[in-house]
Amino acid sequence: MSKKIESLLVIGTGTMGAGIAQVAAAAGCEVSLYDTALDAAENARARIAASLARAKEKGYVEAADMEDTLARLHPVGTLESSREAGAVIEAVREDLQVKQEVFLQLENIVPPDTLLWTNTSMISITRIADPLRHPERVAGTHFFNPVPRMKLVEIIGGRRTDARTLEAAESAVRAWGKTPVRAPDTPGFIVNRLLDALLREALSLHEEGVEGRAIDEAVRLGLNFPMGPLELMDLVGLDTTRDCLVAQADGMGRELKCGESLLRLVKDGRLGRKSGRGFFDYPPQ
């Protein structure tokens, strides 16, 4: 039987880190939130509180559950508190070196049986775990945005990941209400490899002059997708989308041929919903 995760440390409190912390805490896990500054972790807790308040208004969560969830979220100022955690999930920037540094630092703090999970969209788990003394405890746990709504978590093992690490990741995400699917340690795993093709073609169509709204409506109504590809890029963040497209092209050993409109928007600070403007405009909530 795999180890039950009762306490979790989340490193990196952006959209994905905060979403993961929210679902784990909602399911009864004690969650510490860590970022480069305590302010950032406290801010993430405040964003989760606001998101839960909206979810309560919509009738998705009860007031008492919301209070219980918030009581289980603990912003922390040092990594020392990770000693107590059964598992650590990092959701820092999509950068191999940054992720490796986080885990190298953790290896000097946590006991050897603390599980180390990475919420990477693209980066090879084998490579992330490569410099570690205990690569067998590293697995990929790839969540989707918005985390409270998306059912899937891809579970990815690297070359030296132990089977028990994967089983523990699967049972933890199941306990948090998600459905795990094992994915190969290849660029984009399953979902982002498929999504890459859709997004690149949507960008090409847009650059050929097809209206953004028309592309989105066609995909929504013709494929029954909940969102069109341009709205989806705005949701994920155009900077994150760009990083994913570049990493996917690199990983597959091909040149990135599209995305001029995307690069221009990122350069102009139009990053999608989070900045209020991307392909489309978003009034402040």
Residue 136 bears catalytic tag: no
Closest to 233 measured CA to CA, from 256, 188, 265? 265
| CA 194 – CA 84 distance, rounded (Å) | 38
Q: Point out which residues bind ligand 3HC (CB under 6 A).
A: 51, 54-55, 58, 60-61, 121, 144-146, 148-150, 192, 195, 226-227, 232, 236, 240, 244
Distance in Å, CB of 271 to ligand 3HC, minimum: 13
CB nearer ligand 3HC, residue 114 or residue 121: 121
Distance in Å, CB of 144 to ligand 3HC, minimum: 4
Give CA torsion, residues 101, 104, 108, 109, to 10 deg.
Answer: 60
CB nearer ligand 3HC, residue 20 or residue 232: 232
Q: Which of 30, 154, 170, 231 is catalytic?
A: 154
Q: Which of 30, 32, 94, 142 is catalytic?
A: 142
| CA 120 – CA 90 distance, rounded (Å) | 8
Residue 67 bears catalytic tag: no
Are 177 and 192 a contacting pair, CB within 8 Å? no
CB nearer ligand 3HC, residue 86 or residue 140: 140
Distance in Å, CB of 278 to ligand 3HC, minimum: 14
CB nearer ligand 3HC, residue 104 or residue 252: 252
CB nearer ligand 3HC, residue 226 or residue 253: 226
Distance in Å, CB of 256 to ligand 3HC, minimum: 16
Q: What angle do CA 118, 123, 125 make, to 5 degrees?
A: 55
State the residue number with the nearest CB to ligand 3HC. Answer: 121
CB nearer ligand 3HC, residue 209 or residue 226: 226
Residue 192 bears catalytic tag: yes
Distance in Å, CB of 133 to ligand 3HC, minimum: 28
Sign of CA dihedral 236, 243, 16, 285: negative
| CA 261 – CA 198 distance, rounded (Å) | 16
Q: Which of 90, 192, 206, 231 is catalytic?
A: 192
Q: Which of 32, 82, 121, 124 is catalytic?
A: 121
Distance in Å, CB of 146 to ligand 3HC, minimum: 4
Judging by beta carbons within 10 Å of its beta carbon (0-12, 13-18, 19+), is residue 283 exposed, middle or buried? exposed
* Positions marked active-site: 121, 142, 154, 192
